[in-house]
Homo-oligomer: A and B are copies of this chain.
C-alpha cells in the first residue's frame, strides 16, 4: 500500500483514500464540531457562498474568520473552541486553504477523510481499513509548505504501513524531530498571531474518535459528515 504525502494541494496525486490535513484549524475544527453533535459541516471557500447557504438553510449557523478575525455578520469565528457544543444541525464554515484542499482531494481520490491530531489514531485506522493507496494532502498556507500540516501528516504516516514517497519520508522526519505536538505547531512561521489557545487545543492527540468524511457537494461547498 503506497503512502504518499503532498505538502501542497498542487502536488496532490490520485489515490483511493485522501486524508486532508489543515491542522490549524479547519480539519481540527470540523472534527470537533462533528464530535460535538453537528450533523454536517459545509465547507465554503468564499464568504459570499457561506452567506448564501446560511440564507437558504434552516437550523444552520455560519462560522469563519479572515486573519484570525471573525467575518462580519457571521454567527461565530473558526476556532475549534467555539464548537464544543452543537448549536444547530448544520455548521457552515468558510475556510480558504482547507476548503481548497478538500476540493482538490475530492477531484483525485475516491474517498476523502479529514485528519488532525485530535483524531489521529481514528483517521489513520480508517485510512488503513480501505486497503488501497493513501495520499495525505496538506492544505498548506497560500499554496506553500506549512510545517504544522507536514508534522501532522508525518504523525499519520508513522501509523501506516507501506512504501513512502519522498514527501512522506520527509514528513516522518519532521514528525520525529519535535518532542511534542505543541512544539511542532509552535515552530510554524506563517499566519496571524493570537492563536495560542487554539494551537494548544489543536495540539491535543486522540481526544476524538470521529472520522470526518466528504459526503458530497452542496452547490460548490463540500459536505462533511462522520
Contact = CB atoms under 8 A, between A and B. Distances in A.
Interface of A: 5-8, 10-11, 13, 141, 143-147, 150, 163-167, 169-170, 173-174, 176-177, 187-190
Contact of A174 (B6, B146, B170, B189): B170
Contacts of A189: 163-166, 169
A28 to B, nearest CB: 18
Nearest to A148: B166
A170 B145 contact: yes
Contact of A147 (B13, B144, B170): B170
A167 B145 contact: yes
Given A7-B7, A10-B8, A166 B143 contact: no
B190 A143 contact: no
Contacts of A166: 141, 144-147, 150, 188-190
A221 to B, nearest CB: 26
A22 B177 CA distance: 25
Contacts of A169: 147, 187, 189
Given A11-B145, A145-B167, A147-B169, 16 more contacts: A8-B10, A10-B10, A11-B143, A11-B144, A141-B166, A144-B166, A145-B166, A145-B170, A165-B190, A166-B188, A169-B189, A170-B174, A173-B173, A173-B174, A173-B177, A176-B177
A169 B170 CA distance: 12
A169 to B, nearest CB: 6
A97 B145 CA distance: 19
A116 to B, nearest CB: 18
Contacts of A167: 144-145, 147
